[in-house]
Amino acid sequence: MAKALTKKALTKSQIAAEVATHSNISKKAALDIIDFIAQLAYKHAKNSFTLPGLGKLVLVDRKARMGRNPATGESIKIKAKRVLKFRVAKAAKDAILGTK
């Protein structure tokens, strides 16, 4: 029986190292760029923030609705709330999943 290999997600440090190598800049400069992009996303997410080729951060208003408590089966009222969603770009889907 073959054992499945589990891949771990890249860490922030590993991403910075890849960016630094590719762009011929220092790792510290790459970290600063990554941090700056994250801060831009936090600041502008309320108006939607797009990372070209990856996707878009958007705020969505969810309406109040009826739900069910999974433990007891009892119906409960879920309040309206704002949630943050990430919509993956078509280019990212095609690159990762392949085109049909």
Q: Does the residue 2 lie in any domain?
A: no
86: domain CATH number is 4.10.520.10
Q: Does the residue 5 lie in any domain?
A: no
Domain count, the chain: 2
Question: Is there a single domain that holds both residue 19 and residue 53?
Answer: no
d(CA 44, CA 82): 15
The DSSP element (H or E) to which 88 belongs, if any, is: strand 81-88
Chain Cα centroid distance, residue 57: 8
> How many C-alpha atoms does 32 have within 13 Å on its Cβ side?
5
Question: Is there a single domain that holds both residue 75 and residue 52?
Answer: yes
d(CA 90, CA 54): 8
Task: State mean pLDDT over 87-98.
Answer: 92
Question: Is there a single domain that holds both residue 57 and residue 97?
Answer: yes
Residue 82 has pLDDT above 90, yes or no: yes
Q: 29 is in which domain, residue-wise?
A: 10-44
Question: Is there a single domain that holds both residue 52 and residue 81?
Answer: yes
d(CA 37, CA 30): 11
Residue indicated by tokens 């990762």: 96
Give 15-64 pLDDT, tens digit per residue.
999 999 999 999 999 999 999 999 999 999 888 999 999 999 999 999 99
What percentage of the chain has pLDDT greater than the value 70? 93
Task: State mean pLDDT over 60-85.
Answer: 93
pLDDT of residue 1: 43
What global pTM score does this model have? 0.73
